[in-house]
Amino acid sequence: MDPIQLIAPFEDQAKVAEQACEKLGVKIPIHVGSMDEAVKHAKRAEASGVEVLISRGTSAWKIAQSGVNIPLVEIPITGYDLLRAFMEARQLGQKIGIADIPDVLHGVEALEEIFHYPIEKHVIESLEDVDLAVHRLMERDIEVLIGKWVYVQKLKETPIKTVVLSSGIESIIQAIKEAKNLLEVRRKEAARSKQIRAILDFIADGVISVDEQGKVSVCNPAAEKILNIQSTDIVGRKIDDILPQSRINQVLLSGREELNSIQEYNGTKMIANRIPILYGEKVMGVVNTFQELKKLQQQEQEIRKKLSHQGHVTKYQLDKIVGTSPSFLGAMEKVSNYAKADSTILLSGETGVGKEVFAHMIHNLSHRSKGPFVAVNCAAIPENLLESELFGYVEGAFTGAKKGGKTGLFELAHGGTIFLDEIGELAASLQARLLRVLQEEEVMRLGDERVIPIDIRVVTASNRDLEEMVEAGGFRADLFYRINILHIHVPALRERKEDIPLLCDLFLEELEDQIHKKICGFKQEAMQIMQEYHWPGNIRQLRNVVERAAILSADEWIDQETVIEAGGRAFQSIGLTYRPQINETSKLEDYEIKHILQVLEQVGGNQTEAAKILGIGRTTLWRKLNRR
Ligand SMILES: Nc1ncnc2c1ncn2[C@@H]1O[C@H](COP(=O)(O)OP(=O)(O)OP(=O)(O)O)[C@@H](O)[C@H]1O
């Protein structure tokens, strides 16, 4: 289908139009028809999808009034056209009259001035005036009438001569060019509005916009769904009659945007933005976008979940946590009981006993195990940094704040567990903020006014006596009660020495790949020293000693000497006081060992000296000591 068509009121005009097309090198279908005939052509063109029509004069008027909804370019009457008609009319008679629309008659005035030649004029305001106009001009005894083709037809039976005011080729060329521009602009506009429509149709946000009178101009499918309304029911109606609580009218009046405001509709909470459309100072309308709060929270949760897979996950496997001592098993029982609940848990115990390991276990055994696990050591991060790490911030919150802001660790833990280690080290100001987070279950980023609801389980740990700190005024009592709803004491290693062999085996196994060496275990005497030691650094210290001993050991079985060397000075005194159990049934061997020990005592534990006195080598001395 040709997108542009031309309707000429009479044959001659159609011929000129053909010449114009030829000159421009374009192909435009040309129909001939005046007035009602022209309207028929226009309607047919509309039905077949024509995008721009070109017509002229009264036919163009008729088409415009007929309700045909295609843009129409009118072929103008130019000064040349008027001049041509005037010159022709002068050949035909003296008294010339013209009837046309005001614009054309302005041109006639210019002609009169240039040629000092009066012309009878009659203004035509509407099509109904045509008969009257012709009649009036006849009353003025004109000899020649210049007029549109339809007027001229009316004088066919009279002695008055006529000249048809037609458009010349240049006017038609001008109209064709204009039609082509219009087509291009309209196509671009159609593509743009299709794009905008697609955005509006597929965007998850509800969008309602109003014009400067507060009448709804757009209501997208998401808005229909969220508000349970039909756009056809509301477009064109005043927003205040439909959503009086929306504050759109207020923004229309003030011209000031309102962002992230919470609004309720039919019991559903929504986050809304209302943005005025400004043209200079004038408010031309308002765009209101909104989202259901619940959906927004779900999306945030999804994002947080994704982030949680980028590092905030538990690192301990449950089978790598060992212990069979009653005190360890007692604490473990509490872990499995408490994990199911959602209450805060305080883990107490000396440094290195495995509090963090317990926190991981609590998370893994809870219904939050698929969510993130975020561990924060409150003592390791300076106070001012800790605040922004925990709560996050918005762009520009302080000098040096990252562009785009930063998500806080509380937010990152949403749907999971946050482990606050060394909670006793938390500064007073942060203790207050933490208490608020626990009570309100929401956080506010630094520099922001927006409250972000969070769903987290808080597990804290401390190796300091928090109760004592509360009494001394170093820790808030209300916070202490809030974090101490459930309490698990992780026993010190010296209280569960029977777990040491198990732990040593586990660590040796873990170390194998790291040190590229196969170590089978500890000789009995070596293990006895390990169990005799009081382990102030607990499991962390034990792990370090095992690692050192494994590296130092020349044998597959770690002996007592190596353990003493690995343990350092504290272990040497144990080595000295160590007495192998003497088996009552053994005889010569028992005496031998007794004698060796006596000599060792005399020389203050110096094994080389003792070996010299006994007349044996150092290795033999150790073999005898390590013999069962
Ligand atoms: N039951 C266990 N089985 C195996 N390894 C353990 C166990 N408990 C603790 N560990 C190991 O001991 C080391 C110290 O544990 P963790 O860091 O949890 O101690 P902590 O009590 O949190 O210490 P701190 O108070 O200094 O933060 C870790 O390497 C951990 O893997």
Query: How close is the Cα of 354 to the center of ligand 1, in Å?
Result: 3
| Predicted local confidence at residue 576, as pLDDT | 55
Q: What is the mean pLDDT of residues 169-177?
A: 93
For residue 74, give the H/E element and its range: strand 72-75
Atom of ligand 1 nearest to the CA of 323: 1
Domains for the chain: give ranges and CATH numbers: 4-76+172-181 (3.40.50.2300), 79-166 (3.40.50.10660), 203-295 (3.30.450.20), 318-491 (3.40.50.300), 520-626 (no CATH)
Q: How many CA atoms lie within 13 A of 137 on its CB side?
A: 32
CA distance 69 to 287: 29
| pLDDT of amino acid 622 | 76
> What confidence tens digit (pLDDT) does each residue in 124-169 have?
777 677 778 778 888 888 899 998 877 778 787 788 899 988 888 9
Q: Is the pLDDT reported for residue 362 higher than 90?
A: yes
This model of the complex carries an ipTM of 0.94
Q: DSSP for 496-554?
A: GGGGHHHHHHHHHHHHHHHHT----EE-HHHHHHHHHS--TTHHHHHHHHHHHHHHH-S
What percentage of the chain carries pLDDT values higher than 70? 92
313 Cα to the center of ligand 1, angstroms: 17
Read off the pLDDT of residues 524-582 as tens digits, 9 standing for 90 and up: 989 999 998 889 899 999 999 999 999 999 889 999 889 988 888 778 767 655 555 54
Spell out which residues line ligand 1, taking CB within 6 angstroms: 321-323, 349, 351-357, 421, 461, 463, 503, 506, 539-540, 543
Residue with tokens 């421009």: 24
Q: From ligand 1's centre to the CA of 539, what distance in Å?
A: 6
What is the pLDDT confidence band of residue 448, given thresholds at 50, 70 and 90? confident
306 pLDDT more than 80: no
Low-confidence winner among 227-231, 319-323, 337-341 (lowest mean pLDDT):
319-323
The 10 Å CB-count burial string (b at 16+, else e) for 451-485 is ebebebbbbbbbbeebeebbeeeebbeebbebbbe
Residue 576 CA to ligand 1 centre (angstroms): 30
pLDDT at residue number 610? 81
What pLDDT shows up at residue 312?
A: 63
Measured in angstroms, how far is the CA atom of residue 328 from the centroid of ligand 1? 13
Taking CA atoms only, the protein residue closest to ligand 1 atom 8 is 354
Residue nearest to atom 4 of ligand 1 (CA): 321
Tell me, letter by letter, the H, E, C secondary structure of 557-574.
EECHHHHHHHHCHHHHHH
- Mean pLDDT for the chain? 87
| 358 Cα–ligand 1 center, Å | 8
Closest atom of ligand 1 to 316 CA is: 31
Mean of pLDDT values over 579-603: 64
Report the nearest-CA residue for atom 15 of ligand 1: 354
Give, for ligand 1, the residue of 539, 541, 543, 547 to mutate: max count of ligand atoms closer than 8 Å to Cβ. Answer: 539
Q: Region 306-317: what's the mean pLDDT?
A: 58
pLDDT at 585: 46
Q: What is the pLDDT of residue 628?
A: 43
- pLDDT level of residue 314 (50, 70, 90 thresholds): low
Residue 607 three-state SS? helix
Q: So what's the pLDDT on residue 255?
A: 93
Distance 361 CA to ligand 1 centre (A): 12
| Number of CB atoms found within 10 A of residue 376's CB | 19
Which residue has the least CA distance to atom 24 on ligand 1?
351
Q: How far does the centroid of ligand 1 lie from the alpha carbon of residue 506, in Å?
A: 13
Closest approach atom of ligand 1 to CA 542? 12
| Ligand 1 atom 13, closest CA | 540
Separation of CA 422 and ligand 1 centre (Å): 14
Q: Global pTM? A: 0.51
Distance (angstroms) between ligand 1 centre and the Cα of 318 equals 13
Bigger pLDDT: 150 or 76? 76
Report the nearest-CA residue for atom 23 of ligand 1: 352
Atom nearest to 463 CA in ligand 1: 25
Residue range 82-109, pLDDT digits in tens: 999 999 999 999 999 998 877 788 889 9
**Residue 584: pLDDT band with limits 50, 70, 90:** very low
462-506 pLDDT, tens per residue?
999 999 999 999 999 999 999 999 999 999 999 999 999 999 999
In three-state secondary structure terms, 433 is: helix
Cα dihedral value 373, 378, 384, 386, nearest 10: 0
Q: Strand pairing partners for 558? A: 522
